[in-house]
Each structure stands twice: as structure tokens, then as C-alpha cells.
Amino acid sequence: MVRVRFAPSPTGDMHIGGLRTAIFDWLFAKANNGKFILRIEDTDRARYDKESEITIIESLKWLGLQWDEGPDIGGPFEPYRQSERKNIYKTEVQKLINNNSAYYDGATPEELQSLREEQVRNKIPPRYDGRGEITEKEALARKQVGKQVVIRFRVPKEQIEFFDEIRGKVNFDHKEIDDFIILKSDEMPTYHFAHVIDDHKMKISHVIRGEEWISSTPRHVLLHKALGYELPKYVHVPLILGKDKSKLSKRHGAESALSYKDKGYLPEALLNFLALLGWSPGDNTEIMSIKEIIKKFSVERILDHAAVFDPEKLEWMNASYIRNMDSTKLNEIIFKQVSKPIENQGLGINDKTQIEKLTPLIRERLKNIKDASYLLNYFFYDNLEINSDQLLPKNTSKENIIIGLQKSTELLQGIENLEPEILEGKFRALADNLGLKAGQLFFPIRIALTGRKESPPLFHTMEALGKEKSIERIDKAIKIIERM
């Protein structure tokens, strides 16, 4: 039975790397009819942040990565929050103490400091030498008088080897690892210790996580052995880098999961994009439905080199999802966006039928849903910002344009049905009659109607605006030109 877990530490934003790991875990579970488990690793109480936990859960839900077991829904191996599993860790730590694989340590910060200085002086690597080891009795006595005592794992002097499903055999020299803390003075386990126990107790079959953990894995392997646990399969997924090949950060355009939501990205587009960061379906297909991705997903196709985060590609993918989206769904999403109040960056428009008519006009231009407010703004509001220079195209005179625009309003007056095709025919003929090139007439009309150089097709825009508003706006533009 495949059982995988996503085990975030709620200490900050849910960033792209974490989200990608969650996606791989989820995909692997889905692809193998397995279970996807959410475990909250909150033993670092100093860095714990409740908000962060809420954000993580919201991000996963937004992407549709539903878990089968987790802190909110429980499951056969609950609790799924490490801070609630203290007793389990205590029992396991006692086992290690009993078989001499771990020891109490009462070294003071001063002692540790002086050890470090000594090592720096002698130019030897900074490794803990076990100088603070004390007996259980001594440890209890010290704790009673408020002194700090930790428990350390006694690293055996042996070569460490494990198998990573992506990288193959990995060897480690025990000399690179010193006796590390497994239970802190606040009696909370460290990450290294707690997650090993949980992975075992929760019957995790595959540990799928970021490559940054591979250097910690030797510790985990040793702990598994000392506790008599069988090793899970390790799958360390490649790092995600920025375009300049440095560690991914905000300056590469990477944002937290939920800020993509706020910006109007579609969860299916983000999921598709992230699935391709470190995995490939084996051909050049890029746009894939979630079903297809699940069908094609396998560990063999996870790449063994770093992936590069390209925000433009994400934008392109998002636009492509929007273009191909089912109309009813798109109308719904756009309506949700533009019906928000203006200060919330919507348009404060609550007329759904009107929005439905306009959606086809902007579908092709939408890079994200939030843009809908900007792209639809001038259909509802008259306060256009007109750059007067743009009203005058090259190679013709101010007078000609004024005449052209005046004739346009007259033409419009006389048309009953504002159908784009009919409009286009009539306006082309008008330009011709006036000795203007089509563009010389259409361009100032576009500016007059929208205030922008780019807009949906002109005559569709005219149709959507309606006769009265179109004439009104063209008249306004004439006045602006006359004043120039």
C-alpha cells in the first residue's frame, strides 16, 4: 500500500517549493491508489505560527490536494500534529536510552561555546564530542533545579548507505555527523527524530521531499536502524532554482501559493505548471489535465537535476487555461472578480447577464482573472483617461480627423442594429469616402471609446457599449481635439 505524507513545518508562508513537494506527494498517491497524509510538524515552538498553518491548509485546499488523513479529519494513526504526539516520542526515546543509542546531555551553552573555540583554534571541524554526557539520575537532578538537559543520539561509527529512488546509492561518512539532539530541553523532539517515528508509525511507504533534505537523510537512516524500523523508500525531488540558477526567491517572481490565488491564477494552471517543475511526462506535452498528469506520473520520470522557475511560462499557461475554459465556469469566475467592490479591485458590477456578454470579448486577452477588472473597466465607467496625442494618427490633419469623427457619430445615429460586421462595412466605406485609411479613422475611434490603444475588436466594443455611449464618447473626443 502506497502511503505518502506531506509534512510541513508551519513557520512561514507556503512557498512554491513546498507546494511542489505537496503536489508530487499527492500525485504519487493518486497514481498508485495510495493514501495522501497531511502531518503538521510543529515541534519548533519558537518558530511555530498558527497563521502559517492556516495558510498551508488553505493553499492545499485551493489546489484541490485533498488529504485522506490529517489533523482536521483524523485517521487510523492520529493525532497528525506532532505537538500532540509527545508521549509517543518519549516512549521511543526511552528505547534508545535503554539500548545505549542515546544519552542525556547537560552541556551548558558556555561549554559548547568553548568547545567550538577550541576546534576553531585547532582547525578541526566543529563536531560535538559528547563531553556533556550524564547519567539518567544526574539528568533528573539537574532538571529539578531548572537546568537544561537534552537527549542526544549516539552516532555509531559506521559507514552509512541508503538508496534514493532518483539518485541511486548514496554513501555518507559517519565522521560528518556528530551526536545530534533528538529531544530538546523543552521535551519536544527535534524534526529529525519526530518525523522518523511518525513515518514509521504512520506506515509511510515513500518519503517524497525536497532535495535539501538529502544531507539529513543519513541521520534518519541511523535513527531508523537504532529503533529497529524498516526504512521507507526515499525520493528526493530536485530543487527549484531561479532563472539565474540561484536559490529560488521572491526576486525571481516566485510568490506564496495564496498570492497566486489573489492574483487571479487558476489552481489547475498552477498545479499543471508546478507538476512540470522536476517531472516530465516523457514527451513535450505541457498542458495536461489533472487526470492526465496522474495517469502519467511516476517516480522514474522525476528528473535528477534542478528545475528552473519561469514566471512567464506560468503566466502563459494560466492564459491558456483561461482561453480554453468552459464558458459557464469562466463567466462565473469573472463575475466573482468584477462584482467585488472597487476598493477590493473589482468593478462593483452586479449584473451577471451583462458580464456574460462581455466575457467573450476579453477571454483571449486575459492573463489572469484579476485583469478582468481592468479589461472591462471602460465598458462600465466613463471616466476614461484619454491621451489626446493618441487621437491624432500620423499623415493626416486634425481637421480630417474631426470630420471623420463627426461623420462617425452621424453614421452611428442612423444604424439600427449595431452588429459588428455591418458596422465594420459601413465604417470602412466611410473612411474610404473621406479619403482616410481605415486605421486613420479606426484608431482615434478606439481611443475615444476605450481610452486605450489595445482593446477587443473595435466593432464588438462598439456593439457592447451601445449607440448612445459610443456617440457620447466620440463627441467628447472631438471636443478634446478641437481644444488642441
Q: Least Å distance between CB 8 and ligand GLU?
A: 5
Q: Least Å distance between CB 17 and ligand GLU?
A: 9
Print the binding letters for residues 29-58 with ligand GLU: x by CB under 6 A, - otherwise. Answer: ------------x-----------------
Print the binding letters for residues 135-174 with ligand GLU: x by CB under 6 A, - otherwise. Answer: ----------------------------------------
Nearest to 53 by CA among 73, 69, 36, 38: 38
Part of the chain binding ligand GLU (CB under 6 A), chosen from 1-9, 91-99, 106-114, 464-472: 1-9
Tell whether omega for the bond before 79 is within 30 degrees of 0, i.e. cis: yes
Phi (first) and psi of residue 65, to 5 degrees: -90, 75
Which three-class secondary structure state does DSSP give residue 136?
helix
Nearest-angstrom CA–CA distance, 315 and 297:
23
Q: Least Å distance between CB 42 and ligand GLU?
A: 9
Q: Which is nearer to ligand GLU, 198 or 268 (CB)?
A: 198
Q: Which is nearer to ligand GLU, 19 or 319 (CB)?
A: 19
Part of the chain binding ligand GLU (CB under 6 A), chosen from 2-10, 45-53, 346-354, 371-379: 2-10
Nearest-angstrom CA–CA distance, 310 and 261:
18
Nearest-angstrom CA–CA distance, 61 and 424:
47
Size of the site for ligand GLU (CB under 6 A): 8
Residues 6+ apart with CB under 8 A from 358: 376, 379, 464
Active-site option among 250, 295, 437, 453:
250
Part of the chain binding ligand GLU (CB under 6 A), chosen from 3-11, 50-58, 170-178, 398-406: 3-11
Q: Least Å distance between CB 199 and ligand GLU?
A: 8
Phi (first) and psi of residue 433, to 5 degrees: -60, -35
Choose which of 209, 252, 261, 473 interacts with ligand GLU (CB under 6 A): 209
State the DSSP H helix or E strand holding residue 259, giving kind and residue range, or none if neither. Answer: helix 257-262
The alpha carbon of 423 is separated from its chain's Cα centroid by a whole number of angstroms, namely 45
Nearest-angstrom CA–CA distance, 481 and 401:
9
Part of the chain binding ligand GLU (CB under 6 A), chosen from 7-15, 67-75, 179-187, 329-337: 7-15
Nearest to 248 by CA among 210, 275, 217: 210
CB atoms within 10 A of CB 364: 11
Phi (first) and psi of residue 287, to 5 degrees: -90, 120
Residues 6+ apart with CB under 8 A from 337: 264, 346, 369, 370, 372, 373
Q: Which is nearer to ligand GLU, 208 or 322 (CB)?
A: 208
Q: Determine if 7 is a binding residue for ligand GLU (CB under 6 A).
A: yes
Q: Determine if 232 is a binding residue for ligand GLU (CB under 6 A).
A: no
Q: Determine if 316 is a binding residue for ligand GLU (CB under 6 A).
A: no
CB atoms within 10 A of CB 392: 18
Which three-class secondary structure state does DSSP give residue 214?
coil
Q: Determine if 8 is a binding residue for ligand GLU (CB under 6 A).
A: yes
Q: Which residue reads 469573472 in cell numbers? A: 334
Choose which of 3, 154, 192, 195 interacts with ligand GLU (CB under 6 A): 195
Q: Least Å distance between CB 3 and ligand GLU?
A: 14
Q: Determine if 192 is a binding residue for ligand GLU (CB under 6 A).
A: no
Contact indicator for 440, 408 with CB cutoff of 8 Å? no
476, 479, 483, 484 alpha-carbon torsion, rounded to 10° = 70
Q: Which is nearer to ligand GLU, 3 or 209 (CB)?
A: 209
Q: Least Å distance between CB 105 and ligand GLU?
A: 24
Part of the chain binding ligand GLU (CB under 6 A), chosen from 5-13, 176-184, 222-230, 295-303: 5-13
Part of the chain binding ligand GLU (CB under 6 A), chosen from 4-12, 116-124, 174-182, 455-463: 4-12
Q: Looking at this protein, which amino acid is placed at residue 10?
A: P
Nearest-angstrom CA–CA distance, 171 and 163:
9
Q: Least Å distance between CB 233 and ligand GLU?
A: 13
Choose which of 48, 191, 316, 380 interacts with ligand GLU (CB under 6 A): 191
Nearest-angstrom CA–CA distance, 206 and 237:
12
Q: Which is nearer to ligand GLU, 213 or 374 (CB)?
A: 213
* Residue 250 appears among annotated catalytic residues: yes
Print the binding letters for residues 210-229 with ligand GLU: x by CB under 6 A, - otherwise. Answer: ---x----------------
- Enumerate binding residues for ligand GLU (CB under 6 A): 7-9, 41, 191, 195, 209, 213
Which residues are designated catalytic?
250
